[in-house]
Structure formats: C-alpha cells, structure tokens
Amino acid sequence: MTDSLNKCKANETPACCCVDVGTIIDNEDCSAEYENVFATESEAKSKLASLTQAAKDVETEPCEISSSIDKVENGFKLMAKFTFCCGAECMIFQLKLR
C-alpha cells in the first residue's frame, strides 16, 4: 500500500471488501451514557444494578461508573456513565442493552 492513503477513511482490501477493525473501533469513545425516568426510586436503583452487572460482565479492567438518581416532577431520573478501558468493551456493553 502507498503512503498516500487517507487514514481518515476506511481502507477496503481488494480481496474481500473488508475494513480494518481499527478503522471502526479506534478507542476514542470508551464511554456509554444511560438516562431514563422511572416511576419509583426502587425501579431506578434496580435498573442501575442491572446496568452495573452488565458492565461487570463485559469489563476486562474495572469499568468506571458514575451515576445519580434524582427526584424529578414525574418520578426518579437515573443518569449513569460507564467508562470502559477500550472501545470494544463499550460497544459490547451497548449491544447487550438492546
């Protein structure tokens, strides 16, 4: 390959139309955020517990988790941020939530 390739674009190989995985998962975005309003505080805490377990199931190094549950007009708002050591773990975590 020549040095003139644009590194900002996915480089396909002529043999199979494949791209280098580093083009897709570049480890620049290793965080996933979750936000939802629940009717009760216990529902919000339960969801946070299940999200935390899902993160622990994926992590190879400890996932940094920051969260808050705040009383709002129509319930309890859960906000959580999960920061993984690499982009692949973050992507797997997000796919598990679907």
Ordered by where they begin, the domains of the chain are 27-96 (3.30.70.860)
Please, what are the averages of pLDDT over each run of 10 residues along the chain (98 residues)? Answer: 45 58 66 96 98 96 97 97 94 91
Rounded to the nearest 10°, the torsion over CA 32, 57, 24, 18 is -150
**What pLDDT is recorded for position 72?**
97
**What pLDDT is recorded for position 45?**
98
CA–CA dist 88, 98 (Å, integer): 16
| Closest among 23, 43, 29 to 94, alpha carbons compared | 29
- Identify whether the C-beta of residue 26 lies closer than 8 Å to the C-beta of residue 87: yes
**What pLDDT is recorded for position 24?**
58
3-state helix, strand, coil in the chain (%, to 5): 35, 30, 40
CA–CA dist 69, 80 (Å, integer): 9
- Tokens for 48, please give them: 């946070």
**What pLDDT is recorded for position 3?**
44
**What pLDDT is recorded for position 81?**
97
